[in-house]
Amino acid sequence: MIVALALLAILQPPPKILDDFTSIAPWTVAPAEGVSMRLARDSGAMRIDFDFHGHGGWAIARRRLAIDLPENYAFTFSVKGHSPPNTLQFKMIDSTGANVWWWAHPDMAFTPEWTPVTVRRRRVSFAFGPIGGSEMRAGGPVIHHVAAIEIAIAAGSV
């Protein structure tokens, strides 16, 4: 199964390119136990090759990237691939590495054509971590500074 990614950006006037994928060197892989995964460059995009070997799990591409988020933001990237439907996830991790915010698209149908994906602030939610106190708002803590981002593919129906 292959998923390719191109052009990750944070939208605010003007849009800011965070990664043009001319190099995949800043990205690391973090697959679940028993999952095969590797990253490659392919026609100006980052390609994620993964195999769940018929069971559950995930394949995560991670990049350290310091970003101060404006009050309203959106991340945009495009995907294409050859894979059965799986859950596509976009995650933001704070500087502690313990608090994670995410957006998920269950049963994402990966197609051979580029599909734009926009992750808007209102669709991002607190996933897990020990944060609390003054950072709490209705719906959970809010992230203001990102230390790393992740693109993950989690196994759909096995």
**What does DSSP say about strands 45-51 and 2-10: parallel, antiparallel, or unpaired?**
antiparallel
Torsion of CA 20, 22, 23, 29, to 10 degrees: 50
Distance, CA of 27 to chain centre: 12
Q: Which amino acid is it at 126?
A: F
pLDDT of residue 140: 77
pLDDT of residue 13: 72
- Counted residue by residue, the chain has a size of 158
pLDDT tens digits for the chain (158 residues)? 566 666 777 777 778 889 888 899 999 999 999 999 999 998 888 999 999 999 999 999 999 999 999 888 999 999 999 889 999 999 999 999 999 999 999 999 999 998 999 999 999 999 989 985 445 555 678 999 999 999 999 998 65
Full-model pTM: 0.90
pLDDT of residue 134: 46
Residues 19 and 25 sit within 8 Å (Cβ to Cβ): no
Domains, the chain, ordered by start: 2-129+140-154 (2.60.120)
Q: Which amino acid is it at 131?
A: I
The encoded tokens of residue 9 equal 């950006």
Please name the residue that has the structure tokens 């994620």.
48
